[in-house]
Structure 1
C-alpha cells in the first residue's frame, strides 16, 4: 500500500504526530493505492493519521475504502474486501518534491538537515544518527 501527497500544515516534519488527512476524491488531497503484484487498485476514499512520532519513526493508521476488490495474499489465498485498515510503523527518510515549477523546500517545511538530490527531486536527511538529532 502506498499513500502519496500527504499535506501537513506543520512547520517541520519533526512535528507530524497527530495530523490526520482524509480524501473523498481520488488524489485529493492524498493519493492512496495498492499493488498486489498483478493489479493496481486506486482508492477514492483514504484517511491517514500519525498516531505517534519518535525521531524519524512514525506510527500511521491507514483506512482505505472503495468498490469491492480482490487481493492475492502471499500464500495464494484470495481476499475480497471493500476496505483496508492497517497500522504501519515507518521511518522518515526524506521528502520528494513533485512540482511543475522550481520551488524550494523551505516554502513548505523547515529544510534544516536535508540534502537535495537534484536528479530525483528527493530531499534526503543528511545524518540523523548524530547525537544532536537522536536524543542521546
Structure 2
C-alpha cells in the first residue's frame, strides 16, 4: 500500500487539478478504497495484490486534497488555516486511533469482518463532506 501511495499521489493530484474538484476526487477515492477494503475477505492470491496496489494508489490523495479543501473555505482565512487543518487531522486521527482495535475485535467472529468494518467506517466518514462549504473562487478571493 505504501508503494502505491508513493506512486499514486502526484498523478491523482494532477488529474484532480485538471479534470475535477478536490471534493469530488476525495469522495471518489474514499468510495474506491472502501470497495477495495470490503473485497479483501473475498479475494485471494494475485487479487489481494491488485486490491492493495489500487487502494494504496488512492490512499494518499485524500489527505492532500483535504488540506486544499480546508484552505479554500472562505471563513478559514490565513489566520486560522493552521488551526483548521490541525482540527481536521485530529478528528481523522481519532478514527485511526479508535477503529483498528474495534475492527480487530471482530476477527474472532470472522477473519474478514475487520475489513468490512473499516470499509463501512470509511464510507460513513463521507457524510462529513456534505457539510463542507463551497470553496471560494478566484473571483471571490480578489474582493
Q: TM-score range with shorter-chain normalisation?
A: under 0.3
Structure with greater strand percent: 1
Q: TM-score, normalised by structure 2?
A: 0.25
Q: TM-score, normalised by structure 1?
A: 0.25
Structure with greater helix percent: 2
